[in-house]
Structure 1
Amino acid sequence: MKDLEKGITRNGIGYKETTWNILGQAYYPKAVCETTFAFETNSNPGDHVPVHVHPTQDEFILVQEGELDLKLDGVWTKARAGDIVRMPMGIPHGYFNKSDKPCRALFWVSPTGKLKDLFEELDEMTDVEQIVKISAAHDVDFLPPEANE
């Protein structure tokens, strides 16, 4: 992977016009380099990513539109447009759009690690058991379903 490339990734598209469909959510990569990976998500009501851990990456969310319910280190909280969520490596977290409106958010991780490769592999996959297995091989560890309660 190379250094960060200068330039602008336009609104509504991904870097190099890439879009991934991960369990029905649109993911748009915005910036990719060795030290940082940024991507936008568009989550409809009911969309979520279950509680998981990144053992080797810090993760951040900037909510751009709408709101997300987050389970962060076992505690429920809500992030609204303009809020930044900080999720240090090793801390369990998950996000859920429990509202009746779509949510658009910018996520980024540092360092990039294997997350971009994971998203490329998960694109269009629907088998949740296989997704969990592949995620673990890419340093994303999902917790048991009761962690989402």
Structure 2
Amino acid sequence: MPHDVTVNGTRHSLDLPGETPLLWVLRDELGLTGTKYGCGVAACGACTVLVAGEAVRACALPLADVWDEVTTIEGFGTPEALAPLQAAWVRHQAAQCGYCQPGQILQAAALLAENPTPDDAAINAAMSGNLCRCGTYPAIRAAIHDAAAAMSEA
């Protein structure tokens, strides 16, 4: 059965089973490999994308349940025009291996859309489902504060 989905502003009509996880649609069908496979059970956050601005785990979201536009890390900014969160990530050197960072950034984007001036407790709560094996949590928290300040000045 065909399923229509809009990803990063482009509409796609896909002839795939509705139970196909969005993660595999993004990576295998659309070639958007920025979204990473981590655990496959929505527990690590590596596959976090935005659907209508809401952070969701793409590994556990069936294609048939995608209700609005999907934004992946590829649609979140460009090397020439970084999103404020991406620029803050660079300034604070939040990435080490980088594997989890697309999911971390999109989870942080959802947080800042809901709470533009989060304190440490709000950041910790919102980011608690996104795991980083390198342990860059202090840099991630600092980058979120930095981006929040930059976004409030814009």
- Name whichever structure is richer in strand by fraction: 1
TM-score of the alignment, normalized to the shorter chain, above 0.5: no
Larger relative contact order (Cα-Cα within 8 Å, sequence gap ≥ 6): 1
Rg comparison, structure with higher value: 2
- Name whichever structure is richer in helix by fraction: 2
Question: TM-score when scaled to structure 2?
Answer: 0.30
